[in-house]
Amino acid sequence: MVRDAQPNLLVGTASWLERERTVQAAVLFGSHARAPGAPAAADGWSDIDLQVVTTAPERILAADWNSIAAGQLCLRVLRPATSGVRKLTLLYAEGEIDLVIVPAWQLRVARFALAVGLHTRIGRVKDSLNNLSTIMGGGYRLLKGERSWGPFYARVVSELPGFRLSDEEILTMADSFLCDLHWVLQKLRRGELVAAQRILHRSMLETNIVLRHEAQCRAQAATFQQARRVEKLLSTEKLRTVQVSARLEYGELLRAAWSALAGLEIIMHELVPEWRVTPEAETLLAPWKLRDGAASQD
């Protein structure tokens, strides 16, 4: 892809959003909204992330995006996003634009709830505002609607903690990890390598990634969801807790499973130090370690 043309994509899109009467606010967030040199600032491969607050979502979806951004549109995909909204991904030869499309009425309800203090008592609104705080907390800039919506976004980012985990939720995730580990070990012994590989990546590694993000948040260290930029943000030791390196081969998958457990234990020591693999769980897992011998050693 020709990434040098990304600024043209943003200029064309921002210009159209400014003119479009159904758009009440347009917010640039993510890497392109961060100052140069800041953690995870935009580079030549960064997507353009925009949140669009509109009174007519279907009009935005039906727009001629092939000409709006002045690029060669190669793929257009509409997918669900957090808080019940939708994300329109536009993949151009010159770069990628992600439009999070928010119905204006939905954000007005959230703004009212925040203004009168109801957001603390309505779980769905609280969760939506925390998701918004998480998304915008890494940096944002209003391209349209500053006067009407600027104070709302500023308050959300400054007052809402963002998506965070309680100790109880963390403990549940850690114990669920042990269940997944036992399942993976069983599947490996049966020769179901693909099934084991799937859960190792989709569940066990994902648990470590989510918990590592929470640990970074609690330490007030730079961090982003979904393991973004971790290679640059984490130390070598911490990076090992959120990585898996294994081919579709019994011994490699087995070592990766035990390595993931070691990573979980390191992260849990930071989050909830009193957590341990219970004696009962140790007894359940012990036969697998003995049976597989040296292969279980990372």
Average of pLDDT values for 19-39? 92
pLDDT in the model for residue 290:
58
Which residues, at least 6 apart from 173, have a Cβ–Cβ distance to it below 8 Å?
A: 165, 207, 210, 211
User: What secondary structure does DSSP assign to 132-178, as a single string?
Assistant: HHHHHHT-EEEEE-HHHHHHHHHHHHHH---S---HHHHHHHHHHHH
Q: Which residues contact 188 (CB under 8 A, 6 or more apart)?
A: 196, 250, 253, 254, 257
Q: Confirm if 101 and 88 have CB atoms less than 8 A apart.
A: yes
For residues 178-200, one letter each, b for 16 or more C-beta atoms within 10 angstroms of the residue's C-beta and e for the rest, the string is: bebbebbbebbeeeebeebbebb
Pull the structure tokens for residue 298: 């990372």
In tens, the pLDDT along 207-234 reads 999 999 999 999 999 898 889 889 999 9
Q: Between 250 and 3, where is the model more confident?
A: 250
Residues 276-294 have pLDDT tens digits of: 999 999 999 988 875 665 4
Among the ranges given (160-164, 186-190, 270-274, 286-290), the one the predictor scored with the smallest mean pLDDT? 286-290
pLDDT value at position 292? 63
pLDDT attached to residue 38: 79
- Residues in the chain, total: 298
| Residue range 264-287: mean pLDDT, rounded | 95
pLDDT at 296: 44
- C-alpha torsion sign, points 83, 166, 159, 135: negative
Q: Beta-carbon neighbour count of residue 175 at 10 Å?
A: 13
pTM: 0.86
Across the chain, the runs of DSSP E, i.e. the strands, are 23-29, 48-54, 73-80, 86-92, 95-103, 140-144
- pLDDT tens digits for 31-90? 999 888 877 788 888 899 999 999 999 999 999 999 998 889 999 999 999 888 999 999
The pLDDT score that the predictor gives to residue 289 is: 78
